[in-house]
Every structure is written in structure tokens, then in C-alpha cells.
Structure 1
Amino acid sequence: MVTLVAVLAMAWLAHRLRWNEPILLVAGGCLIGLTPQFRTLALPSPVVLLLFLPPLLYWESLTTSLREIRTNLRGIVLLSTGLVLATAAAVAGVGHALGLAWPLAFALGAVVAPTDAIAVQAVARLLPRRIRTVLRAESLINDGTALALYAVVVGVAVHGQAVTWPGTAARFLLAYAGGVAIGAACAAVVVALRRRLHDRVLESALAVLTPFATYLPAQTMGVSGVVAVVTCGLIGSQAGPKVISAGARVQITGFWEVSTFILNSALFVMVGIQTPAIVSGISSISPGHAVVTALLVGGVVIAVRLLWLYSVPYLLRAIDRRPVQRTLRSGARERFPLAWSGVRGAVSLAAALSVPATTAAGRPLAGHGLLVFTAVAVILLTLVVQGTTMPAVIRWAGLRGDPDETTEERRAHRQIVTAALEALPDHADRLDTPPETTDAIRSELRQYAAEDPGPPDAGPGVRSGLELRHTLIGVKRSALIRLRDQRTIDDIVLRRLQSVLDSEEIRIELALRAFSDRPPPPPDGTAAPSGRAPGA
């Protein structure tokens, strides 16, 4: 209850003052954490990974453009795997130089390596579609890479497991391949169920269950639950428009938008609540040493990302001279917002809190408190330094919204209306629609009227006109999905136009229901009594 109140209060204050929302959420959490009642509050990290991570990842993958992922796949893979490993190695080197044993130093690197694109979601809307998609896809995939590395190094630190390069590589491949397989299998089951469900409540319940039912089996089998959830979400984003009804989609979208906002905001509040206890818990080392370690690690995290994005792409550019790759190139100034978007968040906190405080033999794990403190400090540092300066960085880079989105949306709008016009005569004949009603609908389509004005109170052909409009929505939706499948438009444009069609379909269904419930006119053709006295 207190967390929810803090979420609403801090979010309202952030919108009111136009400040960075995650920073205010963390600050509000810190104030709560300083009170005596909440000083010992600690959310178990398995709860964070199970209750928070699957729905957040699932919704992100559902609303990501798969076409843009395919187009920028090489860069996304390099960021979500190569950069994660490079960051973990660099942080491990710094951590070991400052006194951490190598296994725990690599654990620290794995903890702070993954980015959190949700933390910069508000300002990311100002970025072009390509950079926005790269950021979101990187954040989805790099969690799996970091957590797979984390499992290996924590096993070494706590259980003393031996590390070999072939064995480590095999575990990475198994984690990814197994996660993809389980995610694809769960997506196939969900799509098959959706084809048979015709109840909004059941469809919504299935949407809530899906991320957890995908994550848990993967984790139980020892493969990446993160990769499984992302795979299931990406497949679902392609199949969903074909198998989910309009009413259920509107209901599910509203649910996910509210629930993911609350979950994500609550995570930042929990970061703040636990920060005072974490700071007071580093009794084994001096506060000065802890602060220096945190600042150095935070600087390395930011510097490695900048170095990577201003070196590896140019190296690949010198090797790959294909024309298609030249169209994807960007200048140094345009590249900087992507390089500056490495904000860390809830996954890093959950992973840090998951590191056991003792070894398998029961001895205290040396450096545990420093690891947790450093992880929290890096989260706060990136939120303050990078999160608050992102709007200025975007303005300096001269980036604007993607004009191609508007062009694609207009093109798609024209083509789906054209498809409806072509199908109009056949459907009008099948439904026995009066000619005057058919002509009126044809006129609406030619004027690109996407919304139905609503039925008149009376008149011939009202019901058949509504039925014809309802049928043509299916034609439009099929044409829209076909444009997406042909990669003429991407998923972002599809969802935007799909929401318009869904709203139109729901309005027509309500009008048809009201028309069916309307009492029949009296046999003599006079108006039905209204319950109002004549002359009143």
C-alpha cells in the first residue's frame, strides 16, 4: 500500500515538475527507507525476478517492432552479448584491483552489465524509431546474457565450481537455445488456445498467465527464462493481431499498460527503500573505499559503452561494405544518444540481492556488501548522470521523430481502405444491403473516414449497414496484417492503426447490440410509447 501511494505521488510530481520519473521514485523510496518501520524491509530477489521481470519483459517484447529488430539484428546482438561481456570483464578488472576476488568481481560485472531501457522510456519517445527499437531490443536480450554469466560466476564464488572455456560456452548456448525452444513452444500453445477462446475474460486471463507460464518452466529446466519470455512475446506480437478479438485486445492492452507502469515504478521505489539499509550494511570496509569503488565502476560502465559504440561499428563498417549496410550507418553525433542510454535498473538490483552472503561451506562471502552497495550506486549514478541529461543529448544530436512512421501509416491507411472498397460490392450483395446504404459507406471509405458516425434512430438498411461496416473491418484488418507481413509497415504502425479499427469495431458491435435490443415498432407503424404523457 505504501509503495503504491509512493508510486502515484512521485509519478504525479514528476509529470507536474517535468523531472525524471525514475529518480523521483528512487528518492521517494529512500525517504520511506529512512523511517524505522521500513529500515528492515527487503523484497526477496527471487520474488523480484519471478513477479516483476516476466510481465515487464513480455509487454516490452509484445510492443517491439520485429521488422526493425531484423533490420538492425547485427548491432542488437553485438550490444546485447558482446558489450555485456566486455562490460563485465572491464568491471571485473576494476573490482579485482580494488580488492574483490575474481569470481565476485565477475559477479559484479554481470550484475551491472545489462541496461534498463524502461528507465529512459519517457525520453526515448523523442528518438527515431530505429534507435528506440535498438534500445528496447538490447535491453530485452542483454538481461539473458548477463543472467547466464551471473549464474556461472556465482556458482564459482559460492560453490567453488571449476570454470573452463568450453564448459562456459556450452552453458551459454544451452541457456539461449533452451530459452528460445521453450518460448516458441509456449507461444504455439498460447496461439492455439487463443484460436479457441471467445470470451474476453478468459483471453485476458491467458494474457496474464502467459509470461509466468513461460518463465517458470525455463528456469526450472536450467535455461534462460528471460530469453523464453522474450521469444514468446515476439512470436505473440506477430500472431496476436490474427487470433485476438478487438474487445479482448483493448482490454488486455489497458491492463498491461497500467500493470507494467505500477510494476516498473514499484521496482524503483523498492530500490530507494533498500538503499539506506544497503549503505549502512557495508561495515567490513571504509565508506571512502566503497564510494571510490562505486564511482570507478560507474565510470567504467559508462566509458565501456561509449568506447564500444565508437569503435566496433566503425571496425565493422571497414569490413562490411555492402550497400544495404551503408543505409544503416549513422554519424558520430547521431550515435551519441544511443551510447549515452546505458541506464541500469531493476534487473541489476535483483541480481545483486540474489548473490548469497555466505558460501556453500557456511563462511561469509568476502566482498558481498561491497558488491551490493556498488550495484545500487551504479544504478543511481546512471539514473542521475545519464537519465537526467538524455533530453539535452537528444536536442544536441539534432534527432527528431521518425518521419517514415507517418509515411507508412498514411500508406497503410490508403491501402486498407482500398481493400475495403474492392470487397464492398461482394459483401453488400451477401448481406442484402440496400443500395443507398452501400453508396453511403462507399462515400465514407473514399473520404478515408475511419470512424462510424453511429446509426440513425430509424430508417431502412440501418442494421445491414452496420453489419456491412463490421464485415469491412475484417477486410481492413486482414489488409493491414498483410502489409506488416510483407514488411511494408512495421509493428508500431500496425498497432496504431489496429487500435483505430478495434475502437470502430467495438462501437459497431455495441450499436448492433442496441439495435437488436430495440423493441419492434407497433403493427400500425406508430411510434412506440416513450413513457411520457402526450402533450407533457
Structure 2
Amino acid sequence: MRGLEIIVVVLTAVLALTWLAQRLRVSEPLLLLLGGLVLAAAPDIGGVHLSGNVVLLGFLPPLLYAEALTISQYQIRANFRVIVLLSVGLVLATTATVAATGHAFGLTWAVAFVLGAVLSPTDATAVAAVARGLPRRFLTTMQAESLVNDGTALAAYAVAVDVATGRNSFSWGEAVGRFLLDYAGGLAIGAGVGLLVIAVRRHLHSTPLESGLSVLTPFAAYLPAEAAGVSGVLAVVVGGLVISRASPLLIPARSRMQVVDFWSVTAFLLNGSLFVLVGTQLPHVVGDLTAMSPWRAVQLAAAVSAVVMATRLVYVFFSPYAVRAVDRRKVQRLRRIPPRYRIPTAWGGVRGGVSLAAALSMPTLTESGQHLASRDTVVFVTAMVIVATLLLQGQTLPAVIRWARLPPDREADTEEQLAYRHIAEAALESLPGHAARLHTPAAVVERVGNELRAHAAMTEGPSPGHRTEYALRRQIIAAKRTALVDLRDRRRIDDSVLRRVQESLDAEDLRLELGLEGHRLAHHPQPEG
């Protein structure tokens, strides 16, 4: 089977298995991984060996970039300390506890620390898939953690691999310096690429060019950082955050809608494909195991899985008490949450393709040319821990979220009302000046002003007429769409004309749909619990 045919099979599996997971209400990453395991029985698919470098270059940059473009920067700033504690402190703690477990089972300390670094980061795409239903504060914290902790883990991984292969001997000064260089270099290159992209975008006035630049951006951040020996992961994330911050006033609406749709579909397909491909690698991982007996390796995998989960539970549950002992400011006390609310975050440590990619990227030879012992054990244990976390944590996290009874996001509804009212009022204030400059007829100015005043009033209090008005306008758009298609079917207009008019109708329909949803949330908020 040729490469293109394999891609078609994998994408077909992604669509079918995602649909099935939604129908069965099971974890999508878990079912995708199991589907890949079934596909591995086909000789052409099972013969494909997934390279760690392919994942780190082909999958990781676009997936991280897509997440960075949509994540809430407000919530990142509000929860910055918690995110740092999770993405740095928890990664190092997990690396240490897993390394101690691996060493207890006979691995050398160097290889054990490689295993710890490989399994220390959570997977951004897996977390996003299984943590639906979390309030935005908790969800953003977990997503931001999983974006940044890859950089911390890969920095620790690089130090551990150098020691395991004999390239360097371990020293605390060199390890700390490597961490600081990775972080500082990744931040600097990411910010530089983001600012450069913003400058280039100001001179682009073509949707295809703007979309093409968006596709290129994550790789333009990742590759220079990796070539410089610093964190490509942080470069991609920071670049995405810088561009996301500027995009509302930088990117035209048409280009933004196209780019958002592109990254939404791309992230969905890449994420699904990655879990399917991880599933296809499981038979290879088991078959290549030679450094340790299968039963002993299974015992090690079970022990490491338990340690990974337990470390996160203990760290997330008890680290806030250490913070409280140091920081007693009022603003810190106001952000405290009950222990019950911390359980979903503590249980959301799902591992994924990044961990397997790092394990597969582990060298096979030392600097002296000898075979690197226990590499196959690291890959096997990594694969088994991915399966265990997806099965135990990913599948049960929705139930844990319901059990925690997290408070709904009341602030989101209030902020949405404020936003609609503020932009309508700003538009009313600017209307006379724009109308005078454009020599707009008074009747048009009055009609536009009435519409803006109506939009501003929608957030002031309940009005039974607003819901019916939205519904009426959407029914009218449906009638327009039917008439438009009828013209096309009777060959009165070309398909290109249909698409252009359809875009206008879709934009208006989307505006009304969002307005109707905002009105429903404003006047009929969801009950507690």
C-alpha cells in the first residue's frame, strides 16, 4: 500500500472512530488508539514504523500552534503561578518519581531519568479531548500546562539522553543552565517570529497569502529554535500567543474565518491521526522488547502508571497549601478553591503521542558505538502508560468532573453582555463622524442607529420579542438560501455566484445564531451543579 493510500485509510479511521466514540460516549483518544491497534493487523499498515522525529516535526508544531491561537490569555495571566507550578514543578517531580521507580526495577539512573522525562508531560490534544465540560478557569489551566510542560520535559529529556549516551556527564550547573537556555531561547525566538509575522501580515491583502503564512508560522518558529538548540515547543507556543493577541485588529474578517476553520479541521485530523498511528505502533513496541522479560516489563509499566497518576494527585492536592503558607495576600486568598474542585485537574494527566515520539527518538547507540541498553524497555513502558492513562483517566474524567460539581462560569455570561453593549455603544458614538465623512443619507444613518440601539438594549433586560426576532430572521435567511439554490438549479446563476452570496448569508446566519445563544445565556442561565 502506497503512502497516499495509507493516509486515506488513517483519515477514514479518524472520522469513523470519532463518530463512533461520540455515539458510544467513550473517550475519543482511547477509541482512536484501539482502532489503530486493529489497523495494525493489516500488513501494509502494520508495517509502518512511526518515527519520533516525524511526530515532533510534523504533528507537534501545528497542534501546539492551533491550541495557542485559541487559548484564553486572560485566564493564563490570572492563573500564571498555578500553570508554572504544574508545567515546571510537576514535570520535574514526575521525572524524579518515575526515575526512582525505573531504577528500582533495574534500569540505570540515566535511562530511568530518560523514562521519567518522557512520561512527565501531559498531552495537549488528549487533555482538550477528554476535559470537555470544565469551567474555563480549570480547562485553560490544564491546556496551558500541557502546552508549556512539553518544553520542560523535552529539556529534561535532552539532558538525560546526553548522560545516557555518554555524550556528557551530569552536573547540576550544566543542567540548570540548559533549562534556562532552552526557556529563554524558545521565548525569544517565538516572540521574534510572532512579531515578524505580524509585520508581514500588515502588508498582505490576499486571503490565500494570509492563510499560507498561517500554515507556515508554526514551522517557522519551531525549526530555527531547534536548530539553535533551544525549545521549539516554547517558540511555537509563544509565537502563537503573540499573533493571537494582535489578530483581532490585524487580520481581516474573511481571512480570519478561513484561518480559524482551517486550524480547527487540521487540529482535529492531526490529533486523531496521531492517536491512530500510536495504536499501530503498539505491536512493534511489544515485539521489539528484548532487554527485559515481558512479565517484568508489564510489572514496570503498571508500577510507573500508578506512580505517574499518584504523583499528579499528590502534587495538585498539596502544592496549594505550600503556596498559602508563603503567600497570604488577599488577592491570593480570593482565588482559593475547595479541595473537591482540584480533583478533576489532578485526574486529568493523560499522556499521548508526544511521550511516545520522545521515546522513539531515543538514540539506539551510545557515543562509543555500543547498543543503548533498555531503549526498548523505555518505549514499551511509555506505550503502556499512554494506554493506561487514556483508559483509566481519560475514560473516567467526565464522571469525575460531574462528581466535583464545579461552579458554572457566571462571569462568562456577564462579560458577553458587557462586550455586546460596549461595542454597540462605541459604534453609536462613531456613527455621526463616519456618516458625515461618507456623505451617508440621513435615512440610512437613522436606520443603522436604530439597529445599534436595539443591539445595545438587548443586554439591558429580558425582552420576549428578541428571541422571536432572531428566529424570524433566521427563517428568512433559510428562505433566501433555498431561493438561491433554486436559481443555481435552474441555471440562472453560476456556482461561483452562489458561493459568494452564500458566504454573506452564512455570516449573517452565524451572527444571528450567536446573538440568540447570547440572549438565551443572559436571560436563562444554567442552574448550579
Sequence identity percentage = 54
Say whether 1:172 aligns with 2:179: yes
The separation in 2 between residues aligned to 1:94 and 1:395, in whole angstroms, is 33
AA aligned to 2:84 is V
Deviation per CA, 1:493-530: give whole Å up to 9, x if none.
Answer: xxxxxxx9x935999xxxxxxxxxxxxxxxxxxxxxxx
- 2:199 matched to which residue of 1? 192
The aligned runs of 1:194-343 (5 Å cut-off) are 194-343=201-350
Deviation at 1:318, TM superposition (A): 2.0
- 2:119 is the counterpart of 1:112: yes
Contact 1:22 1:265 in 2 (8 A): yes
Match of 1:20 in 2: 27
1:503 matched to 2:510? The reply is: no
3-state secondary structure, aligned to 2:305:
helix
Match of residue 44 from structure 2: 37
Please state how far the C-alpha of 1:302 moved relative to its aligned partner.
0.4
Counterpart among 151, 165, 179 of residue 158 in structure 2: 151
Correspondence for 1:446 among 453, 456, 464: 453
Contact 2:40 2:46 in 1 (8 A): yes
Give how far 1:34 is off: 2.3
- Amino acid across the alignment from 1:238: R
Mapped to 2, the partners of 1:107 and 1:158 lie a distance apart of 11
CA contact (8 A) 1:25 1:272 kept: yes
Q: Aligned pair count?
A: 464
5+ unaligned residues in a row in structure 2: which ranges?
Answer: 1-7, 459-469, 478-503, 512-529
Q: How far off is 1:174 after superposition?
A: 0.5
Unaligned residue ranges in structure 1 (runs of 5+)? 457-499, 508-536
Aligned-partner Cα distance in 2 for 1:147–1:340: 23
Name segments (4+ residues, structure 1) moved above 3 Å: 449-456, 502-507
Task: Select which of 7, 13, 21 maps to 1:6.
Answer: 13
Cα distance in structure 2, aligned partners of 1:503 and 1:122: 28
What does residue 102 of structure 1 align with?
109
Cα gap change, 1:308/1:395 in structure 2, threshold over 3 Å: closer, same or farther? Answer: same
How far apart are the structure 1 equivalents of 2:129 and 2:10? 21
What amino acid maps onto 1:180 in structure 2? L
RMSD between aligned residues: 2.2
Structure-1 separation of matches of 2:508 and 2:404: 40
Deviations 1:330-353 (A, max 9, x none): 111011001001000111010010
Which residue number corresponds to residue 89 of structure 1? Answer: 96
Q: How much does 1:38 deviate?
A: 2.9
Q: Which residue of 2 aligns with 1:410?
A: 417
Specify the SS of the correspondent of 1:99: coil
Secondary structure in structure 2 of the residue aligned to 1:197:
coil
Matched, 1:71 2:78: yes
Structure label with greater radius of gyration = 1
Partner of 2:55: 48
Equivalent position amino acid for 2:289 in 1: I
Are residue 59 (structure 1) and residue 60 (structure 2) matched? no
Q: CA offsets per residue over residues 180-227 of structure 1, 9 Å max, x none?
A: 111111011100001110000000000000000110000001010001
Partner of 1:181: 188
Shift of 1:388: 0.6
TM-score by length of 1: 0.83
Bigger Cα displacement from structure 2, 43-52 vs 191-200: 43-52
Query: C-alpha separation between the residues in 2 aligned to 1:359 and 1:164?
Result: 19
Corresponding letter in the other structure for 1:159? G
Q: Contact 1:110–1:149 (CA<8 Å) still a contact in 2? A: yes
- The question of whether the paired residues in 2 share the 8 Å contact of 1:126 and 1:401 is answered with no
Deviation at 1:291, TM superposition (A): 0.7
Most deviating of 244-253 and 1-10: 1-10
1:18 alignment partner AA: R
Deviation at 1:39, TM superposition (A): 2.9
1:43 deviates by 1.9
- Residue 385 of structure 1 and its aligned partner are, at CA, apart by 0.3
| Match in the other structure for 1:375 | 382
**Corresponding residue of 1:420:** 427
| Distance change (3 Å), C-alpha of 1:141 and 1:120 | closer
